[in-house]
Structure 1
Amino acid sequence: MQASILQLKSVAKAEGTIVLPGSKSMTNRALLLSALSSGSVQLQRLLISEDTQHMLQALQALGVDIRLDPQTRNGVVTGGLSSNRKQLTSPLILDLGNAGTAMRPLTAVLATSPGYFELHGNARMHERPIADLVEPLRAMGAHIEYLGQVGYPPLRIQGQRLMGGHIKMAANLSSQYVSAMLMAAPLMDGETTIELTGKLVSAPYIQMTLTMMRRFGIHVQPTPRGYHIRQQTGYRAPQQYQIEGDASTASYFLAAAAVAGEVTVQGVGRDSLQGDLAFLGVLQQMGAGISIDTNQLTCRSQGGLQGIDVSATDFPDAAMTLAVLALFAQGSTTIRDIYNWRIKETDRLTAMATELAKVGATVKAGRDYITITPPRAMSPALIETYDDHRMAMAFSLLCLSPRGVRIANPQCVVKTCPDYFMMLRSITDQHG
C-alpha cells in the first residue's frame, strides 16, 4: 500500500492565533488519576487523539465509567478502578498501541492489586524498553512476565496487593517509569520510598505528575535521592480539573513565527506544568521575541536566528522542533542530552539525522547529541516520518523554506494532534 504524501507549499510567514488542543501528557495522567479516585470529576479540555483513546478505552475495559462529549472535549470520570478490578476473574487483554503514557503507568497500577491482565502494543511499542519499571516492581513482589523479548512489552500481569517499602529505580532513560511508580505507590500498603539512580531526564514531567497527584489528594515528599510516599487514604477526585493546552504542539507554531511572522497560541501560559515551556527560552536565545501571559504565548520574528548549543534534558519533545528550526539559523546548533530520543516512537536521533541530511544539512549525531549546520540553500525533499507524529510536525516548518516540503504519511499526527495540518494551514495560508 503506497503511503500518502502531503505537499506543503512555500509561504513567506506564519501569522495568526491558534487555540491549542489539550496536553497529551496531562490528559492521560488526569484520566488515570480520576479512575483511581473516589467520586466523580469533570475533566475539561481533554485531548482526543490516538494515544488518549488508548488510555480511555483501557480504563473503560477495566470498568471505569467515562462519559465524554466530543464536541466540548469535556468528560466525567467516576473513579473506582482499584475496586473494580478486584471483580475481574478472567484475563483481560489491553491493546495500548504505541502510547507510552498509557503502557507505563498502567503496568505499575495494574501490578498493585488482584486481577489478570495482558498489556500489548503495536510493533514499535514492543521495541521500547520497560525493564527499568518492571524490574523494580518485581523486586516489590509484583508478578509480571515478559511475553516476548525480555525487557520489553507485551506483558502479562498477575496483579496483587503489594507492600510498600524501598524501591530503587533508574531515572536516566525515561521519566515515564518514575511517574508510573509514583502514581502506583499510593495503592501499596504502608509507606514507600523511591530512590532514583542515574542522571534524571525530563524532570518537569515528574513534577507535573507530583502536582497533579496533589490535586487528587496525594502528597509526595521529595527526598535527597527521590521521593517518599506515606500511607494515605487514597486518591480523591476534585470536582473539576482543566487540562492545559499542549505545549509540545505549541512549539511548532511558535517556531514557525520565529522564522517569519507572529503567532499567538492560547490555552497555556506562564504557570504551565509542562516542561516544554522551556522551549520559549530557546527561541529567545536564538533571537525571537516572546510574550508570556496567563493563558497564551506569543512569538514574533525579530530578524535572523542564531544557532545555539543547548541541553534538552527538560524538553526532549520540543527539541525535535529545535532540530528543524536549526535549518533557518545562522551557524550550527547542537542539541545535547537526547539519548531518550532513541526509545521514542522511532529512533529519533537516527531518523532526524537522516531527514535533515536530505535537505542538505551537515549533521553529526552521537550517542546523545546532534549538531546541525544548515545548508546555503535547502534541497527539495520527501520527508519520511517513520510513523512518528513529531517528525511530521517538526518538518512541516519547511513550508517556510523556498521550495516548501513533501511529507510522507502525514496522518501519523493523529497520535497527539489530529487537526495539526488544518491548524498549520490557518496560519500559513496553505491552500489546495
Structure 2
Amino acid sequence: MPVIDIPGSKSITARALFLAAAADGVTTLVRPLRSDDTEGFAEGLTALGYRVGRTRDAWQVDGRPQGPPAREADVHCRDGATTARFLPALAATGHGVYRFDASAQMRRRPLLPLTRALRDLGVDLRHEEAEGHHPLTVRAAGVEGGDVVLDAGQSSQYLTALLLLGPLTRRGLRIRVTDLVSAPYVEITIAMMRAFGVEVGREAAGPGQVFVVPPGGYRPTTYAVEPDASTASYFFAAAAVTPGGEVTVPGLGAGALQGDLGFVDVLRRMGAEVSVRPEGTTVRGTGQLRGLTVNMRDISDTMPTLAAVAPFASGPVRIEDVANTRVKECDRLEACAENLRRLGVRVATGPDWIEIRPGTPAPGTGIKSYGDHRIVMSFAVTGLRVPGISFDDPGCVRKTFPGFHEAFAEVRGGLGA
C-alpha cells in the first residue's frame, strides 16, 4: 500500500509568505512547498526588500507591517498567479515605485477586477501595456482602506489579495463581493489570517457577501504548511483507477484547510472506497467507476484529474460550472477535451462544462501539455491504464511539484500498474 509524502500546499505557502512578510516580526514556515511558483514568490519578496531565509525544511521571513523595505523594485512573477496577484497588493502598502512583470503565459491571465478594486481604494496603479494584464507599476503611498466592490467570478485570488491587504490599511476594508468562484480557497485565507491574529467578519448583503477586515496588522508565528490537496488528487485518482489499488496521504485528513480534498468525495460517488481520518486520507480502487454529473466550481483545480480518468467510468462523466478553468495556465477545459480526443475518447464541451463518454483510450498517444503542470499530472494517471502515453513538456510540473514523475513512478510500481 503506497504511502505518499505529498509536498506542501502551493496555495497555503503563498498565503503564508504574504502573511509572514506583513507580520511585525520573524515568522517561521515549516515544510513549505519548494517549487517554481513558491520560489518565485520568495524571490519577489526579496526584490521588495524582505529577508527570506531558507533551509531544507523551513523558511524564515522578517516581516514589516509598514510595507516593503525597498523604495524601488522590479519584480518578475514568473508563471505564478499568486505572486502576480498578491505582491502588487502588498507593495501598495509601502512607499515607493514597484514594477511587476511576468512570463508570457502569466501576462495572458486576467488581473483587471483586482487592479480596478485597488484603484478604487486610491492605489496609483498603471498597466504598462494591455489593460488588466502584466506588466504593471504601483506608485505606493500606503492604503487608506474603506469600502470596495469586487467581482471574484474569475478567480478567488482577487478576493484573497484584498483580504490579506485589509489589516495593513489605515481604516481596514469592507469588501462587497458580487460573484465568487472557488470559495474554499477564501476559507483557507480566512483561517490563515486567524492564525496570524486577524479575525475577518462577514455580512450578507444582496446577491453577494460582505467581508469586513479590521486594521491593526498581523502577529508573527510558526506556521506548518499542510500537504497540497490538488497534488494529492493525482495519487488518489491513481488508486481509484487501479482495482485493489490503495494510496494513503498522511497529514491531509479531517480538519484540512484545503477544499480540494473534496475531490475524494467525487471518487467515492464513482465507486472508490474512501477513508478520511484526522491523520490522513486513504483511497482504494474497487474495480468499478460509475459515471456521474458533478459541479466542480469550488474544486475546479481538480477538474483535469477527473477528466483524465473519466474514460474508465461505466457511464458518461459530466463536469459543470468550471468556466474559470478557461483562464488558468491554459484553457484547461479545452486542453482536456483536445487530449481526450487525441486518445480517441468522445467529448463534448460548452462554455462552462465538459462531458466525457466511456471509452478505450488509444495507446502510444502524445499528450499536449500547453505548458500546464496540471494537464501533465492528470494525464499521467490515464497512463496507468494506457501504455505509451508521452508528454511534449513533462518538465512543466516544476511549477508545483518538481519531483512528480519520480514520485508517480514509485506509486505506479506500488500499485502494480
When normalised by structure 2's length, the TM-score is 0.95
- Provide the C-alpha distance between the structure 2 equivalents of 1:352 and 1:337, rounded to a whole number of angstroms: 15
SS of corresponding position for 1:163: coil
Report the counterpart of residue 125 of structure 1 in structure 2: 106
Report the counterpart of residue 33 of structure 1 in structure 2: 19
1:294 corresponds to 2:278: yes
Contact 1:58 1:96 (8 Å CA) reproduced = yes
Contact 2:23 2:220 (8 Å CA) reproduced = yes
Report the counterpart of residue 251 of structure 1 in structure 2: 233
AA aligned opposite 1:374 = P
Match of 2:195 among 202, 215, 225: 215
Contact 1:66 1:77 (8 Å CA) reproduced = yes
- Provide the C-alpha distance between the structure 2 equivalents of 1:286 and 1:249, rounded to a whole number of angstroms: 20
1:318-362 deviations in Å (ceiling 9; x for gaps): 111011110211111011111111111111112111111111111
1:68 corresponds to 2:51: no
Q: Which has the higher contact order (CA 8 A, sep 6+)?
A: 1
Residue 172 of structure 1 and its aligned partner are, at CA, apart by 1.0
AA aligned opposite 2:19 = L
- Pair 84,159 (structure 1): closer, same or farther in 2 beyond 3 Å: closer
Structure 1 unaligned runs (5+)? 1-14
Contact 2:312 2:359 (8 Å CA) reproduced = no
1:152 corresponds to 2:138: no
AA aligned opposite 1:44 = V
Residue 25 of structure 1 and its aligned partner are, at CA, apart by 0.4
C-alpha RMSD of matched pairs (Å): 1.5
- Provide the C-alpha distance between the structure 2 equivalents of 1:63 and 1:109, rounded to a whole number of angstroms: 12
Percent of residue pairs identical: 38
SS of corresponding position for 2:33: coil
- Provide the C-alpha distance between the structure 1 equivalents of 2:195 and 2:386, rounded to a whole number of angstroms: 48
Contact 1:37 1:235 (8 Å CA) reproduced = yes
- Pair 187,84 (structure 1): closer, same or farther in 2 beyond 3 Å: closer
Residue 169 of structure 1 and its aligned partner are, at CA, apart by 0.6
1:198-229 deviations in Å (ceiling 9; x for gaps): 2x210000010000001111111011122011
SS of corresponding position for 1:297: strand
Report the counterpart of residue 170 of structure 2 in structure 1: 189
Contact 1:185 1:229 (8 Å CA) reproduced = yes
Report the counterpart of residue 93 of structure 1 in structure 2: 74
Match of 2:304 among 320, 327, 330: 320
AA aligned opposite 1:153 = H
- Provide the C-alpha distance between the structure 2 equivalents of 1:364 and 1:313, rounded to a whole number of angstroms: 18
Contact 2:293 2:318 (8 Å CA) reproduced = yes
SS of corresponding position for 1:315: helix
1:165 corresponds to 2:146: yes
Residue 429 of structure 1 and its aligned partner are, at CA, apart by 2.0
Contact 1:358 1:379 (8 Å CA) reproduced = no
Contact 1:220 1:230 (8 Å CA) reproduced = yes
Residue 192 of structure 1 and its aligned partner are, at CA, apart by 1.8
- Provide the C-alpha distance between the structure 2 equivalents of 1:389 and 1:212, rounded to a whole number of angstroms: 26
SS of corresponding position for 1:327: helix
AA aligned opposite 1:122 = S
Residue 113 of structure 1 and its aligned partner are, at CA, apart by 2.9
Residue 374 of structure 1 and its aligned partner are, at CA, apart by 2.6
Report the counterpart of residue 174 of structure 1 in structure 2: 155
SS of corresponding position for 1:394: helix
- Pair 276,219 (structure 1): closer, same or farther in 2 beyond 3 Å: same
Contact 1:312 1:319 (8 Å CA) reproduced = yes
- Pair 404,270 (structure 1): closer, same or farther in 2 beyond 3 Å: farther
Residue 84 of structure 1 and its aligned partner are, at CA, apart by 5.8
1:351 corresponds to 2:351: no
Contact 2:67 2:91 (8 Å CA) reproduced = no
Contact 2:369 2:376 (8 Å CA) reproduced = yes
Report the counterpart of residue 139 of structure 1 in structure 2: 120
Report the counterpart of residue 392 of structure 1 in structure 2: 376
Report the counterpart of residue 56 of structure 1 in structure 2: 42
Residue 94 of structure 1 and its aligned partner are, at CA, apart by 0.3
SS of corresponding position for 1:222: strand
Contact 2:198 2:214 (8 Å CA) reproduced = no
Contact 2:30 2:225 (8 Å CA) reproduced = yes
Contact 1:112 1:142 (8 Å CA) reproduced = no
- Provide the C-alpha distance between the structure 2 equivalents of 1:377 and 1:229, rounded to a whole number of angstroms: 50
When normalised by structure 1's length, the TM-score is 0.92
AA aligned opposite 1:141 = G
- Pair 378,144 (structure 1): closer, same or farther in 2 beyond 3 Å: same
1:40-92 deviations in Å (ceiling 9; x for gaps): 1221111000000011011112221221112xx21222211x4362x533x31
- Provide the C-alpha distance between the structure 1 equivalents of 2:37 and 2:214, rounded to a whole number of angstroms: 31
Contact 1:360 1:374 (8 Å CA) reproduced = no
Report the counterpart of residue 205 of structure 1 in structure 2: 185
Residue 38 of structure 1 and its aligned partner are, at CA, apart by 0.9
Contact 1:63 1:84 (8 Å CA) reproduced = no
Structure 2 unaligned runs (5+)? none
SS of corresponding position for 2:300: coil
Residue 428 of structure 1 and its aligned partner are, at CA, apart by 0.8
SS of corresponding position for 1:400: coil
SS of corresponding position for 1:375: coil
- Provide the C-alpha distance between the structure 2 equivalents of 1:384 and 1:402, rounded to a whole number of angstroms: 16
Contact 1:62 1:84 (8 Å CA) reproduced = no
